[in-house]
Structure 1
Amino acid sequence: MCGGRQPLGLRGHRSGGRHPVGSVPFSHADWRAHFGPAWPGLQRAKRTYDPRGILVPGQGIFPAR
């Protein structure tokens, strides 16, 4: 992602800065990489607690059904 350089919004996060939700665009693949080994558990939790997919649909974390 970003050719080895981290987006400015994410650098600010590490240093305690703030960035608005959605200011750094992430694709579905970016989200999978971001969550890494926790991704399968996150998918299970999403299916269990949000089976209709109504929570945070605009972030693109999970593809539309």
Structure 2
Amino acid sequence: MIPAALKRHDSLDLVRLDLVRLDLVRLDLVRLDLVRLDLGAFLFTIFTQETINILPTIILIYP
């Protein structure tokens, strides 16, 4: 027969594991935010490079 105090301790461990899982989910969300930031920076870099490349053409066409 298992004492009630041990059973309660096991359920606390399960809660602790659930909190660790929540932290892992939070870390995954942070990683997703970092991916979103990297993609944003990448697209911004491409956009500014293309704008810089096209700008002289626009100036020549529309004086």
TM range (shorter): under 0.3
Q: Could you tell me the TM-score, scaled by structure 2's length?
A: 0.22
Q: Could you tell me the TM-score, scaled by structure 1's length?
A: 0.22
Greater RCO (Cα-Cα under 8 Å, separation 6 or more):
1
**Structure of greater Rg:** 2
Higher helix fraction (1 or 2): 2
